[in-house]
Amino acid sequence: MDFVESIDNVYNNSIKAIQDASGKLLLTHLGEMKPDTITNLSEKAESKLFEICAAKKNIKNLFNILIEGLQNIKNHGEFGPENNQISFFHIYDLEDSFICNFSNLIDNEDYIEIKISKNIDHLNTLERPELKALYLETLTNGQISKKGGAGLGIIIMAMKSRNKIDYKTFSCR
C-alpha cells in the first residue's frame, strides 16, 4: 500500500467509526489545508450548526476549536512525499455532543510524537482553573517553536471543549 492509499485508508476507517458510533457526519475534508480552505470550511461548519439548531454556546465553542484545529494542521502539519500537506478533519454529532477529529502528518522522529503525546496527556490531567493558568503562563512565557507555535492552540481546544482530548497516531509507511 502506498502513502496516499494509507492516508485514504485511515480517513475511510475514521468515517466508518463515526457511523458505527451512530454519529451524524456534519462536515468533513480530506486534502491540503490552505487559508482559503479554512475560511470555506469555517463558514460551512457554522451554517451546518445553525441548520441543526445547535445551541449558540456550543456553536461558539465548536467554532473556536475548529479554527484552532485547522490552523494547527496548516501551520504545523508536515509535508508528504509529494510535497503536499495531506490532512483531514470531521465534525460529527452524537446524541449528546459534537466531536471534532483533526488529522495531519507529523515528523516521524520519535521524540516529536512522544512530546505531543506527553503534552496532551498533561493537559488531560488538568482541571479548568489549571488549564486557564497554563494558558496564561504559556501566553506570557511560552517557548516559540521553529514553526511559530507555543502550544496555545491545543490548550485553547482543551479549555473550550471541557473534555479530555483523545488522540491516536498511525504510521503510514
pLDDT at 93: 92
The grid coordinates of residue 57 equal 454556546
pLDDT at 141: 80
pLDDT at 149: 62
pLDDT at 116: 80
pLDDT at 138: 87
pLDDT at 98: 92
Which residue carries 485511515 as its cell?
10
The grid coordinates of residue 161 equal 471543549
| pTM, rounded to two decimals | 0.84
Read off the pLDDT band of 67 (50, 70, 90). very high
pLDDT at 145: 59
> What is the per-residue pLDDT across 28-55, written as a single tens digit (0 to 9) for each?
999 888 889 999 999 999 999 999 999 9
Give 165's contacts (C-beta < 8 A, 6+ positions apart).
Answer: 120, 123, 124, 154, 157, 158
pLDDT at 52: 93
Which range, 59-68, 72-81, 115-124, 159-168, is most confident?
59-68
Burial class from Cβ neighbours inside 10 Å (0-12, 13-18, 19+) for residue 34 reads: exposed
How is the chain split into domains, by residue range?
Answer: 3-161
Work out the mean pLDDT of the chain and round it to a whole number. 86
The CATH fold assigned to 3-161 is Heat Shock Protein 90 (3.30.565)
Contact between 130 and 123 under an 8 Å Cβ cutoff? The reply is: no
Helix axes 152-161, 128-141, angle to 10 degrees: 160
Residues above pLDDT 90, as percent of the chain: 43
The answer on pLDDT for 152 being more than 90 is no
The grid coordinates of residue 62 equal 465548536
